[in-house]
Structure 1
Amino acid sequence: MPKTTNIPAAKRTVLQTPVAAAEPAEAREPRGARRKRETRARLLGAALKLMARKGMDGVAINEITEAADVGFGSFYNHFESKEAIYAALVESVFDEFTDWLDRLTTGLTDPAEVIAVSVRYTLMRAHREPLWGQFLVREGFSSRMLDRGLGKRLLRDLQRGMVAKRFPVADPFVAFLSVGGTMLTAVTAVLGFVAPEAPNAAILEELRFSGEHLPERTAATLLQTLGLKRAEAEKVAMRELPIVMSAVEAG
């Protein structure tokens, strides 16, 4: 399978957010506002590291403030509770990525391609940002998976494919569990076996498994789970990826 990173630039669909040439906002804002923003960012970063490992319920506020090197009382200048910082964290980590995927797939008319593109980009991001992937796995297996973020989006995309008769599945809930569970397991494999410096990379060689092109292989397998024939599933999973660039992604 060809590597997705070698897509010719001329064939890419690029939607880039314009970046103003004006003086950066950080240079214009008052010092107090800048410090407040930086403190909030440190709290979110510390919460991500801790909650990716132990979940929201396993982390105390004082652990977050200590990890962020912020006074305990300062926490409440930014968040009213642990649940509030968790909600902000989910928004910054997952909801923004979900919105990005929606922009990415807006022009796609094939529900199977929407699933394939979403699967591939999710695994690619987990490969690039292991902490993000670790948080996704922990929260993906929680009871919150059905009503927000990537889980809610996956459910919506599966339902659209079933309404369009693209996915001839008999049990929508089991289909959702199958696709979602396989996705999270694939992310776990990326973190443990495939990503750079993964702790168990040597096991793949011992078992003679290959982690190459895992996003495409996973997408093809999931499309077969949803009822596509193998040849068609592999063809859809290998279509050129549309690309959306924000100012952050471009930088």
Structure 2
Amino acid sequence: MQPRSRSAILAVALLVPGFALAGPNQAIATFSAIESIEDGWEPLEFPNIDRHSRYELVQDNGVQVIKAQTSNSASGLIARVRLDPEQRPVLEWRWKVSGVYEQGDARNKSGDDYPARIYVAFEFEPDKAGFFERAKRKAMETLAGEELPGNALNYIWANKLPVGSVVPNPYTEATQMIAVNSGVSQAGEWVTISRNIVEDYKKAFGEAPPTIVGIAIMSDSDNTGETATAWYGDVTLSRQ
């Protein structure tokens, strides 16, 4: 099985249909309140990956959440936004997983799978990029027919990576992986996570973050070929 660079693809939205930066929302649609997934979220699918993870709205203890099922598959859901992270620096969500992957490893391409992850994608800053990077991105934008985002933070439920670790994605340093849960000790339990994305971005990239242009959830297993189920509660960005 050949590992595929989903994180790299998302970091630059390479050939991902529909990842235009136009038409921004000022809030993330909450799973507990929407009538269908399409009310604020769109499929996030990847070139050459035909097996897609399944997402559905379900009830869990009287609260509507997203249930994700992945089996040797990869895809996600994305909400387009356009938000100043300095104004809404606190990202909060809750999630639950059935377990982690035996072969999962955030430091290796073959283990770049997670039962649950949250992406935060940021606007590309051309004035901070070199000539060749700008030229390469321009060519990709021409091919994709749309503007592409830049760096990304990727909050993961890891297997081996210690909680609090920040490491580059094995495919691209434009995506930095942050382990907020790790291992099976809390599997089967709802866990609430709160992160200051301004602080996390500065730690990961050494500078203040640009505009947020997308929030995504994803449960994937196409590299490891394993199976998992995850549940996602509301994902919010707030002042505190």
**Which interval holds the TM-score relative to the shorter structure?**
under 0.3
Highest Rg: 1 or 2? 1
TM-score (norm 2): 0.26
TM-score (norm 1): 0.25
Structure with the larger RCO, 1 or 2 (CA within 8 Å, 6+ apart)? 2
